[in-house]
């Protein structure tokens, strides 16, 4: 192991001089004492970069971890790019130190001359995004790491239009973080906090129910809801109640906000085990529908009678439902998805003669696209989704919103239930109408944080292309690898913008002409996709040391 010398000693000295948390100071001193240069480099030598949904990192000691020192520099840098005396709405979820970081953000921004309005209690991310428009704020900050494990926290930043900031604003902030002063030298204003009033909560619920109006369909079926130890319970239950859904059972062990997420390994509803308690309760009381939000309530997972729906299945079901209920819109409707999501939404849009657009990954890209097209083409944004359980229903929130999506899905279920139809029957109908689109997504963990990991993956796939039966295609978006294969297979690979993962998105399509043929094709294509997935995982796992299952 290398000795700690020169520049590293200076970094340690600099950090210890500004870190106010004694336990974090001790953590760095212990690493120095043990001559752990590898970990010290990770902790002290790196630059903050925005991912697909803000900035996230592990909580702990060091310039590259989340703590008061790093949060202060990020917020200070953001404050510098705002116009003078900006009004900023600040929210926080129930993660560890979220409240502390939110108040620290307010102190720094106030010292810079900005007006800060802060929520008094933990809130869902979509409520924070909504408050920017409601309060006519110039920007918004949400302290959250969304669905990441308990040891993470993060920051999402929104512009005055309630859209997450993107390049070039993110690059400008990143550059100013590098030159931010010592934590102790960053001015902080500890004057009286101005809290956001409760009317914003009611306005948010009214906005959702105003768009997703109550219907006369049957609503006596049983719904199970879980916030996965997060912020969603009061908002989801009140909103569902307001549109007529009363038979709602909450998963009690997960009902109260708890940043340690004691009943799940990962608070991510994409992980199958995360929904276990909700599904167990549903089976025990014979419930019809399970709705689950991640901790900051910007994602939605759905279970219906022995099946967890995929993000793409939820997305196309919601899109078609919303399109069919708003077919008489005066303006041309617009739906949006991302490149890694199913191509089926484009077919649905074409069938209904409405506008469709496809963007790079991340809701910042989708929201910006919707905003521009509403102005330039006079289109009316209706719905957008990404396969990772993110859905944007209307313009109540210009970001993914698991609460509005939960209500919309309950209404779809209600409509089908009243017609003695099921969700799976509706999916089959759409597949016969627009083509069968079988999708799968998975990930591999990457211990290599460098950007060249995708190059390694690309080399391995090309080397084994004859075995995998994949052909590389030119990708128009930087950071994506795209391949095609048998059965109209499309495979996209990207590095996660929020986690240490390499993500894979596969889709196979066919055009069955009958329900019997549809069932045969579903089984056939699923088997084909599983074989391809298994081969890819085994080959990459074997040939790239830094990537593992």
Q: What is the pTM of this model?
A: 0.94
Q: How far apart are CA 162 and CA 175, in angstroms?
A: 23
Query: CA 17, CA 29: separation in Å to the nearest integer?
Result: 12
The CATH architecture annotation of domain 46-197 reads 3-Layer(aba) Sandwich (3.40)
Query: Where is average pLDDT lowest: 4-18, 120-134, 183-197, 271-285?
Result: 4-18
Active-site residue, selected from the candidate residues 72, 89, 98, 146: 146
Contact by Cβ (8 Å): 45, 27: no
Query: How distant, in Å, are the alpha carbons of 170, 313, 539 from that of 496?
Result: 17, 22, 20
Helix (H) or strand (E) holding 316: helix 311-325
Q: For residues 56 and 63, give the distance between their C-alpha atoms in angstroms, rounded to a whole number.
A: 13
10 Å Cβ neighbour count for 434?
21
- The reply to whether 414 belongs to the active site is no
- Domain positions in the chain: 1-45, 46-197, 204-433, 435-548
State the greatest distance between any 2 C-alpha atoms of the chain, in Å, as a whole number: 74
Structure tokens at 292: 């689950």
Alpha helix ranges (H) inside 138-226: 169-178, 199-211
pLDDT tens digits, 222-269: 999 999 999 999 999 999 999 999 999 999 999 999 999 999 999 999
CATH for 204-433 (3.90.1010.10, 1.20.120.530, 3.10.640.10, 3.40.120.10): 3.40.120.10
Structure tokens at 250: 């909450």
CA distances from 411 to 29, 209, 219, 224, 243 (A): 56, 11, 9, 15, 9
**What average pLDDT does this structure show over 287-311?**
96
Predicted local confidence at residue 397, as pLDDT: 93
Percent of the chain with pLDDT over 70: 98
**Taking residues 181-192, what's their average pLDDT?**
95
Query: How far apart (Å, rounded) are the C-alpha atoms in residues 142 and 153?
Result: 11
Model confidence over 426-445: pLDDT tens digits? 999 999 999 999 999 999 98
pLDDT (0 to 100) of residue 450: 57
**Cross-strand bridge partners of residue 248:** 223
Distance CA 268, CA 503 (A): 15
Torsion of CA 397, 401, 405, 407, to 10 degrees: -80
pLDDT of 536 > 90? The answer is yes
Residue indicated by tokens 């950007």: 451
204-433 and 46-197 share a CATH fold: yes
Instruction: For residue range 13-72, list pLDDT tens digits in order.
Output: 999 999 999 999 999 999 999 999 989 999 999 899 998 889 999 999 999 999 999 999
Of the candidates 127, 123, 71, the one whose C-alpha atom is nearest the C-alpha of residue 95 is 123
| Crossing angle between the packed helical segments 37-44 and 6-18, to the nearest 10 degrees | 60
- Which DSSP string do the residues of 258-293 spell out, in sequence order? -TT-TT-S---TTSGGGGHHHHHHHHHTT-SEEEEE
CATH of domain 435-548: 3.30.310
Q: What's the rounded Cα separation, in Å, for the pair 450 and 235?
A: 40
């Amino acid at each position: 192991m290398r000795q700690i010398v020169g520049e590293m000693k200076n970094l340690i000295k600099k950090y210890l001089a500004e870190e106010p948390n004694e336990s974090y100071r001790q953590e760095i001193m212990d690493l120095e004492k043990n001559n752990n240069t590898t970990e010290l480099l990770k902790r002290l030598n790196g630059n903050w970069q925005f991912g697909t949904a803000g900035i996230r990192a592990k909580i702990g000691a060091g310039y590259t971890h989340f703590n008061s020192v790093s949060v202060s520099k990020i917020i200070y840098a953001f404050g510098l790019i705002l116009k003078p005396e900006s009004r900023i709405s600040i929210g926080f979820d129930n993660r560890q130190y979220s409240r502390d970081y939110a108040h620290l953000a307010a102190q720094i921004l106030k010292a810079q001359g900005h007006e800060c309005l802060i929520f008094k209690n933990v809130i869902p991310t979509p409520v924070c995004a909504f408050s920017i428009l409601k309060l006519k704020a110039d920007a918004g900050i949400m302290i959250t790491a969304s669905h990441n494990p308990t040891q993470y926290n993060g920051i999402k930043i929104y512009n005055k239009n309630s859209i997450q900031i993107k390049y070039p604003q993110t690059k400008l902030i990143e550059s100013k973080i590098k030159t931010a002063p010592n934590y102790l030298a960053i001015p902080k204003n500890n004057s009286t906090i101005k809290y956001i009033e409760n009317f914003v909560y009611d306005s948010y619920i009214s906005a959702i129910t105003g768009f997703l109006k109550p219907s006369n369909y049957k609503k006596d079926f049983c719904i199970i809801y879980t916030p996965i130890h997060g912020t969603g319970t009061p908002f989801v239950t009140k909103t569902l109640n307001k549109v007529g859904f009363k038979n709602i059972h909450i998963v009690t062990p997960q009902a109260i906000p708890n940043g340690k997420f004691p009943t799940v390994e990962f608070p991510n509803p994409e992980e199958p085990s995360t929904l276990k308690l909700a599904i167990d309760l549903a089976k025990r009381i014979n419930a019809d529908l399970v709705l689950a939000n991640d901790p900051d309530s910007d994602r939605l997972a759905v279970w219906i009678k022995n099946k967890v729906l995929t993000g793409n299945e939820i997305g196309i079901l919601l899109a078609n439902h919303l399109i069919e209920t708003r077919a008489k819109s005066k303006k041309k409707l617009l739906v949006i998805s991302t490149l890694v999501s199913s191509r089926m939404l484009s077919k649905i849009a074409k069938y209904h003669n409405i506008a469709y657009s496809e963007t790079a990954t991340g809701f910042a890209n989708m929201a910006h696209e919707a905003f521009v097209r509403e102005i330039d083409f006079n289109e009316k944004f209706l719905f957008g989704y990404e396969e990772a359980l993110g859905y944007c229903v209307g313009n109540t929130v210009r970001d993914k919103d698991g609460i509005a999506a939960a209500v919309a899905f309950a209404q779809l279920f209600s409509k089908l239930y009243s017609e003695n139809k099921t969700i799976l029957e509706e999916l089959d109908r759409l597949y016969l109408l627009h083509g069968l689109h079988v999708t799968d997504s998975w990930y591999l963990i990457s211990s290599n944080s460098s950007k060249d990991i995708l190059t390694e993956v690309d080399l391995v796939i090309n080397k084994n292309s004859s075995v995998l039966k994949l052909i590389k295609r030119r990708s128009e978006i930087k950071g994506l690898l795209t391949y095609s294969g048998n059965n109209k297979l499309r495979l996209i690979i990207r590095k996660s913008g929020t986690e240490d993962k390499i993500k894979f998105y596969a889709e196979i399509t066919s055009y069955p002409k009958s329900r019997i043929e549809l069932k045969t094709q579903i089984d056939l294509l699923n088997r084909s996709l599983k074989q391809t997935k298994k081969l890819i995982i085994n080959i990459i796992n074997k040939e790239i040391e830094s990537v593992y299952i």
